[in-house]
Structure 1
Amino acid sequence: MIEVTGDPGAGTHLVTVTDDGPGIPAADRERVFDRFTRLDDARDRDAGGAGLGLAIVRELVRLHGGTVRLSDAGPGLRVSLHLPALPDAET
């Protein structure tokens, strides 16, 4: 199961994606943001992706002035995206 939530705050927005999968060990949580990183050696590109997803996410969020944090969801993984709020558009 995957759950996506949003929480608009004053000056920042929080988007959280939580799953109930195997999670990512704390020791690997920084490494998974490196391009072409796959934690499961049994997965190959044909069956498990190229290992670019989180690297792309972090770079896009960084370019928009935000941050990405990974944490335990017990079971699973929680990805928290903190993004600056855009100023209100003038009408």
Structure 2
Amino acid sequence: DDGPGIAPADHERVFARLFRADPSRAEPGLGLGLSYVRAIVQAHGGHVTVDSAVGEGARFTITLPR
């Protein structure tokens, strides 16, 4: 995407319930979306990862077993 990106120190924290990185706090939301994504993906035996840097947007990858 072309958003503000996510600092490496926050990569694991973005999946925590109610966590919102500083730049996103001005936007509406509760900080629940990625915690739901991770829970659903893990319930199906998969995992989700983030690849991002500040100022470079973010890419989330979901991997599910066959």
Q: TM-score, normalised by structure 2?
A: 0.84
- With over 3 angstroms needed to count, the CA separation of the structure-2 counterparts of 1:71 and 1:37, relative to structure 1, is same
For 1:79 and 1:42, locate their aligned partners in 2 and report how far apart those are by CA, in whole Å: 17
Structure with the larger helix share: 2
1:41 deviates by 6.9
Aligned to 1:24: 6
> For this pair of structures, how many residues does the alignment match?
65
Q: 2:49 aligns with which of 31, 55, 69?
A: 69
2: CA distance, partners of 1:25 / 1:40: 10
Whichever structure has more strand as a proportion of its residues is 1
Question: Which has the larger Rg?
Answer: 1
Q: Which has the higher contact order (CA 8 A, sep 6+)?
A: 2
**Percent identity among equivalent residues?**
52
CA RMSD of aligned residues (A): 2.2
Q: Match for 1:39 among 3, 21, 31?
A: 21
